[in-house]
Structure 1
Amino acid sequence: MKGRIVVAMSGGVDSSATAALLQEEGWEVVGVTLQLYDHGQAICRPNTCCAGKDIHDARAVADALGIPHYVIDMEAIFRTDVIESFADSYIQGRTPIPCIECNRTVKFRDLLGFARDLGAQALATGHYVQRAEQGGRAILLKGADPARDQSYFLFATTRDQLEFLRFPLGGMDSKDQTRAIAARHALPVAAKRDSQDICFVPDGDYASLVERLRPGGSRPGDIVHVDGRVLGRHAGIIHYTIGQRRGLGLGGGDPLYVVALDAASARVVVGPRSALGRRRIRLERVNWLGEVADGPVAVEVRVRSTRPPASAVVELTEDGGAQVELAAPEEGVAPGQACVFYQGARVLGGGWIVAADQ
């Protein structure tokens, strides 16, 4: 027996296969599922994770594997650290990424602490990233399958957390391999489809959620062209994000895109696609996983989870932030999104976008 390992079991095929794989390798596996919602509200949520049915599925998998399974009520903490933060960010004209905050807080902070309390030697998740050893310490790498790589969402993982974490699926070449593991162990979720939506916004209507949590927090204002012309009115900046083209309600003419959101003046600034490009990005709350950096470091960066890596230079600042200079302009650089640093397959960390200039 290799020792005790806690597996974060969301009820999906990835975490279920992770538990089966580790048990097969000789670990004493303990499954833990986070309850993030009131069970009565969660049980009918489709296409999400950590909902009522998912808790049932996780328990069924644990029973099939013959491993102990715990459910931890994290509803209050999740609401404060993830949902409330999400709403505040939208009010401020930012485009938040709640999945990163969930990983950073309830999973890799609170769940990791619970795993230690259980006497575990490690905490494992079903994320598609890789952990390796270099120079006597753990480093973070992209997942082997580019189509499944989740490193963008784990940039905030600290060095200490990495020492304790394991990602058994990171080396898989495809999702088919994961499903094959689940099928080999006759797990009841082997054919379960992936969650797709933000778990607490299953219908994709972010604005309605923000309005419910922060009534009156977003006020109407002007839609303004970059040349200063007022083109129309909007019902609140929470309905817009940088790079948006559709749904502006401005009629015909040349295509216009959201270029900036000014929360202080309640203005939505629009312009041609050429106005979207940004080369200089300012970051806050940087998590640096590289070697000591005494000056500029050549990296590749991703400014959105769907964007390919782009050549850049990053320089850390004394206030815990960083300045990023891109080799070529990137479109859709939005405050509230993450800018993640890479050197080849290695993840060097990242930070939260505060501002960007041409």
Structure 2
Amino acid sequence: MTKVVVGLSGGVDSSTAAAILHHQGYEVIGLTLWLMKGKGQCCSEGMVDAAYICEQLGISHHIVDIRELFQTHIIDYLVTGYSKGITPLPCSECNKTVKFDAMIKYAREKLGGKKIATGHYARIHHNSETGRYELLRAFDRNKDQSYFLYDLSQDLLEVSIFPLGEILKSDTRRLAHEYGLKTADKPESQDLCLVESNGSMRVFLNKYLAPAPGNIVDTEGKVLGKHDGVQYYTVGQRKGLGIAAPKPLYVIALDTVNNRVIVGDRTKATQTECVVSRVNWVSIAEPLRSIRAEVHIRYRSALIPVTIIPLHGLRARVVFDTPQFSIVPGQAIVWYEDNKVLGGGIIEKFSQPFGLEKV
């Protein structure tokens, strides 16, 4: 009997994933990662629900305290990013360096397990011709979470199982009811766990970064208003600027050196390309020349046709077929071929907006 360690957050998805594997005859062990204090589904109240699910299924439940790891790799990562004027995406970082790594390490060292499973909506396929494990979109495109999993290594894909990858979300709820799971009607998390725990990203940032008032300027350097700190803004933002103008203005850059928020019209918040760092070629080997693909520049954004040019040092240049609005440094950009995730990385920088050099 194959032993599978299932990551349980206390939500309906991970609960149902555990129940599916249990009913398929796997030896299932529940594992909850203690990430932080607070009310997020992955923390205090989630632990209680996860423990109850394990009791319902008649399986053991383990809690692993990885708060220090979460502090270093996620909280410090976020705070450093926001202080530098970028908008980090913590989810893909958390999946690889915190959750999946911690799960397989504990499974191997403490539980004698060789496989881990989660409630993510994605699929894994082993390509016998290339010898690589491929990350694929979920059958339910409305719930597909492959965007957040692009950074998984071949080693992690080899040991991972996604039981929900082939079913619809409605099937997950139905199965949860059929199995009599306590979490069957539990509402879904609607935001980042840090936001849920703190109430808002601003409240979270205020714990680590002091407000630093400065000027909001246009591309000519004219002062249009004031801000409380560049950490509260993101490229592409329109609402909450607190300035009056005859036409809509957007944040086009964050100048942390001079503590300025730079705004302009929509054309100046539009980019033709970007440079991506920390690239992971997940389903294919790194190509030797440029390739064509489609990308998501953020989760649930429309697919965009691009040319991807590999660069040295796990970097790439992504050239959009048509200019794109709001390319945000710190966010993930993930490229696909049909349902296959080819790779992805973190947006490092973009082409300069017209006129910004004058500021």
Aligned residues: 347
**1:292-350 alpha-carbon deviations (Å, 9 max, x no partner):** 41110111111111311100011221121111111111111110001111111000111
Structure 1 residue aligned with 2:205:
210
Q: Distance in 1 between matches of 2:80 and 2:308?
A: 28
Structure 1 residue aligned with 2:32:
33
Q: Distance in 2 between matches of 1:245 and 1:17?
A: 40
Structure 2 residue aligned with 1:254:
247
Q: Distance in 2 between matches of 1:204 and 1:24?
A: 38
**Offset at residue 201 of structure 1 (A):** 2.1
Q: CA RMSD in A?
A: 1.4
The one of 310, 316, 321 equivalent to 2:310 is 316
Select between 224-233 and 137-146 the one with higher mean Cα deviation. 224-233
Structure 2 residue aligned with 1:112:
104
One-letter amino acid of the structure 1 residue matched with residue 47 of structure 2: I
One-letter amino acid of the structure 2 residue matched with residue 348 of structure 1: L
**1:155-194 alpha-carbon deviations (Å, 9 max, x no partner):** 111111111111110111x211001111111111111011
For residues 7-46 of structure 1, the aligned pairs below 5 Å read 7-38=6-37, 42=38, 45=39
Q: Distance in 2 between matches of 1:50 and 1:270?
A: 37
SS in 2 for 1:201: helix
SS in 2 for 1:200: helix
For residues 1-358 of structure 1, the aligned pairs below 5 Å read 1=1, 3-38=2-37, 42=38, 45=39, 48-117=40-109, 118-135=111-128, 136-172=131-167, 174-202=168-196, 203-215=198-210, 219-289=212-282, 290-357=284-351
Structure 1 residue aligned with 2:357:
none
**Greater than 6 Å deviation, 4+ residue runs:** none
**Offset at residue 252 of structure 1 (A):** 4.2
**Offset at residue 205 of structure 1 (A):** 2.4
One-letter amino acid of the structure 1 residue matched with residue 265 of structure 2: P
On the 8 A contact 1:91/1:237 being kept in 2, the answer is yes
On the 8 A contact 1:198/1:204 being kept in 2, the answer is no
Q: Distance in 2 between matches of 1:249 and 1:302?
A: 30
**Offset at residue 219 of structure 1 (A):** 2.4
SS in 2 for 1:190: helix
Sequence identity (%): 39
Q: Distance in 1 between matches of 2:311 and 2:10?
A: 41
**Offset at residue 239 of structure 1 (A):** 1.3
Select between 8-17 and 275-284 the one with higher mean Cα deviation. 275-284
Q: Distance in 1 between matches of 2:193 and 2:313?
A: 33
Select between 233-242 and 202-211 the one with higher mean Cα deviation. 202-211
**1:10-34 alpha-carbon deviations (Å, 9 max, x no partner):** 0000000000100111100000001
Q: Distance in 2 between matches of 1:193 and 1:29?
A: 24
**Offset at residue 76 of structure 1 (A):** 1.5
**1:254-285 alpha-carbon deviations (Å, 9 max, x no partner):** 11111111111211111111212112110111
One-letter amino acid of the structure 2 residue matched with residue 5 of structure 1: V
Q: Distance in 2 between matches of 1:200 and 1:239?
A: 15
On the 8 A contact 2:194/2:201 being kept in 1, the answer is no
One-letter amino acid of the structure 1 residue matched with residue 17 of structure 2: T
SS in 1 for 2:267: helix
One-letter amino acid of the structure 1 residue matched with residue 175 of structure 2: I
**Offset at residue 137 of structure 1 (A):** 3.0
One-letter amino acid of the structure 2 residue matched with residue 338 of structure 1: A
One-letter amino acid of the structure 1 residue matched with residue 186 of structure 2: K
